[in-house]
Chain A
Amino acid sequence: MTRGVLIFAHNNRDVDYALMSLISASLAKKNLQLPVSLVTDDTTLDWMKESDIFEKANDVFDQIIITDKPKTDNSRKLHDGANSKFVPFVNLNRNQAYELTPYDQTLLIDSDYLIFSDNLNNYWGYSDRVLLGRAINDIVGPRRLGYHDRYVSDTGVHLYWATTVMFTKNEYAKSFFEVLSYVKENYQYFADLFRFQVRNYRNDIAFSIAQHIIDGFETKSEMHLPGVFSFIDKDVLYSVDKHGKMLFLVNVTADEKYFPTTVKDLDVHIMNKASIVRNAEQLLELI
């Protein structure tokens, strides 16, 4: 049975998802000792060639799978520490992971999820479920999280985090991804049913609803992937040393005060994408 990691990356004019996926893939490959494949599109591939990372990408990625870039009007406010701007983002084809993955067992991760441990290798045995990140696990703790970081809506279902998803090619996972596609295609209907406001299509929500439906409209306490240890985009990855110790500036309160903290040997979700890109060289040197 083959195992591997899958990452989706579709560049936009502001965020270099290709470079982030290369960093994320390199770390996953090193620390999980697994092959990593990329799902991307022609324009992103062209950019990889133009920005001189294509050769490295060919070296790191087991397979580069080209697919159509989904058309979307999705945009969101993305912070880089105290600064922010609205940027488009392409996230509409994660439901195709089941069809696109070249592996029997797949760990699907976001390109801003950096793996520094082999912890996730402990979960491959649970092949009878699609495993999702149980919740967000913020560096500051629950007080910085909002209600809708835990629930899809005020009265609605538990919010899983699709930053990490693990599945095995079997009938169960096939059904899961079929339901996920159905939710995606009928997103407004499910927004009405599950009572959340549609600003953009959000994978976390779609995966959570699919899980809820597949679980028989219950929140089951069965196996999930660990909480996604996260730094929000108001935090800044300031530096990375040669031993992999990352120095973050953490925006603990709502004001401008930042506190330094370091993280090492932990898998980490860094939502400030610009700060990953700024530290690309140091991160790639860790490989």
Chain B
Amino acid sequence: MNFGYLLIVDQQEENCPDYAKMAYALALSIKNTQKPGYDQVAIVINNKKYLARFKSLWVFDHIIEWSDKTFWDGRSYMDRLTPFENTICLDVDMIFLRDYSHYVDYFIENCDLYVTNKSYTYRGEIVTGNHYRKTFEKNQLPNLYSFYTFFKNSAEISMEFFPLVRNITEYPKEFSNIFLSEHKPKILGTDEAFALSAKILGIQDDISYDLEFPKIVHLKPMIQNWPWPAELVTHHVGLYLNKQGQLKIGNYSQTGIVHYVEKEFINDENLNVLEELAWKK
């Protein structure tokens, strides 16, 4: 089996979120929780110098320097950048809290390309709020989340899907004008590009059918089923990572994957917890 997780980072110098640090934390959490053979991590980063400060670079099995595209745009090249035959590409502001190796087995056995189509609140409810998904709703796009994408490099469907995603990312205005006229997004992000690509190709049912996994908690504030609007999740509930690497959000233990959104979650203290666990493993 040739499988691994792919993290794509475009680290900017100043006043930008520290995506390299988040990718490092995610890689640590993968090493801490996944079985050997299911814990390979490759990072694609615009400059390797951003990684030099980290103590345990061994968590990255592959470090690939690549700077052809900036910001999110590089993610549309995931199929070209991955060193693996079977890949799960992740957003970097996520953390793994349990072993999901069995999911990987399922995907390798049953899928050529799979894009997640639901997320959960910190209370374990499926997100139904459309606050951040008006473009999807108004333009009848499939409800895809690119933050967890499985693909086989050799699969025909990947070879159709990703080039179109790249095209959409390259020409966002043109695609928005034609296909997203009911509600144009301010920025055509990877989620929109994935959804539009799937819709144009008519493959949404092939690449995103209903599965109970992966269970990814999405911590954007306006989709937590709260009775009032919220600016930040941490204004209302705390995120508590203990020394065993167990995460609690408010009164809820988290046992899946958490997409924490607020970049400050990966502070030195939490990074240290993840590092110590990795060293002891």
Instruction: Report A's interface with B, CB cutoff 8 A.
Output: 147, 154-158, 193-194, 212, 216-219, 221
Tell me if B227 and A154 are in contact (CB < 8 A).
yes
Q: Is the CB of B253 within 8 A of A218?
A: yes
Q: Quick check: is B214 within 8 A (CB to CB) of the other chain?
A: no
Q: How far is the CA of A221 from the CA of B226 in the complex (A)?
A: 20
A147 CB contacts on chain B under 8 angstroms:
227
Is B248 in contact with chain A by the CB < 8 A criterion? yes
- Find chain B residues with CB under 8 A from A212 CB: 251
B221 to chain A, nearest CB (A): 11
CB distance from B245 to the nearest CB of A (A): 15
Shortest CB distance A205–B (Å): 12
Which 4 A-B pairs rank lowest in CB-CB distance, beginning with the nearest?
Answer: A217-B253, A147-B227, A155-B237, A219-B124
Query: In the complex, which residues of chain B have a beta carbon less than 8 angstroms from the beta carbon of A157?
Result: 123, 251-252
Known: A217-B248, A218-B124, A219-B123. A155 touches B253 (CB 8 A): no
Q: A155-B237, A194-B251, A218-B124 are in contact. List 15 more A-B contacts (CB 8 A).
A: A154-B226, A154-B227, A154-B228, A155-B224, A155-B226, A155-B251, A157-B123, A158-B123, A193-B251, A217-B251, A217-B253, A218-B253, A219-B123, A219-B252, A221-B124
Per the 8 Å Cβ criterion, residues 238-281 of B in contact with A are 248, 250-253, 255
Q: With an 8 A cutoff between CB atoms, is B102 at the interface?
A: no
Interface residues of B (CB under 8 A from A): 123-125, 224, 226-228, 236-237, 248, 250-253, 255
Select the residue from B124, B237, B252, B255 with max chain A CB neighbours within 10 A.
Answer: B252
Q: Which residues of A contact B252 (CB under 8 A)?
A: 157, 217-219
Q: Find the residue from B125, B224, B250, B255 having the highest chain A CB count within 10 A.
A: B250
Q: How many pairs of residues, A versus B, come closer than 8 Å at their CB atoms?
A: 34
Q: How far is the CB of A179 from chain B (nearest CB, A)?
A: 14
10 contacts between A and B (CB under 8 A): A154-B226, A154-B227, A154-B228, A154-B236, A155-B224, A155-B250, A158-B123, A216-B253, A218-B252, A219-B124
Which residues on A sit within 8 Å (CB–CB) of B224?
155
Which residue on B lies nearest to A213, using beta carbons? B251
Chain B nearest Cβ from A153, distance in angstroms: 9
**CB of A144 to closest CB in B, whole Å:** 16
Which residues of A have CB within 8 Å of B228? 154
Q: When the two chains form their complex, are residues A156 and B251 in contact, meaning their CB atoms are under 8 A apart?
A: yes
Rounded to whole angstroms, the CA-CA distance of A219 and B217 in the bound complex is 14
- Residues on A with C-beta less than 8 A from B237 are 155
B236-A155 in contact (CB<8A):
yes
Give, as a whole number of angstroms, the nearest-CB distance from A209 to chain B: 9
Asked whether A218 and B255 contact (CB < 8 A) given A154-B226, A154-B227, A154-B228, the answer is yes
Q: How far is the CB of A207 from chain B (nearest CB, A)?
A: 15
Residues from chain A with a CB closer than 8 A to the CB of B124 are 218-219, 221
Give Cα A172 to B177, complex, Å: 60
Please measure, in the bound complex, the distance between the C-alpha atom of A212 and the C-alpha atom of B124, giving whole angstroms. 12
Q: What chain B residues lie within 8 Å of A216 (beta carbons)? A: 253
Chain A residue at minimum C-beta to C-beta distance from B236: A155
Measured between beta carbons, the chain B residues less than 8 angstroms from A193 are: 251
A194 vs B251: C-alpha distance when bound (angstroms): 7
- In angstroms, how far is the closest chain B Cβ from the Cβ of A221? 8
CB distance from A219 to the nearest CB of B (A): 5
Given A147-B227, A219-B123, A219-B124, residue A156 in contact with residue B253 (CB < 8 A): no
List, in ascending order, chain B residues with CB within 8 A of A156's CB: 250-251
**Which residue of chain A lies nearest to B255 when distances are taken between CB atoms in the complex?**
A218
User: Distance (Å) between the CB of B118 and the closest chain A CB?
Assistant: 14
B248: nearest chain-A partner, CB-CB:
A217
Task: Give CA–CA (A1, B46) in the complex, Å.
Answer: 68
- Closest Cβ–Cβ distance, residue A172 to chain B (whole Å): 19
Q: Across the interface, which residues of B come within 8 angstroms of A194, CB to CB?
A: 251
**For A217, what are the chain B residues with a Cβ–Cβ distance below 8 Å?**
248, 251-253
Shortest Cβ gap from A134 to chain B (Å): 14
A219 contacts across to B, CB distance below 8 A: 123-125, 252
In whole angstroms, what is the CA distance A217 to B124 when docked?
11
Within the complex, the shortest CB–CB distance from A91 to chain B, in Å, comes to 23
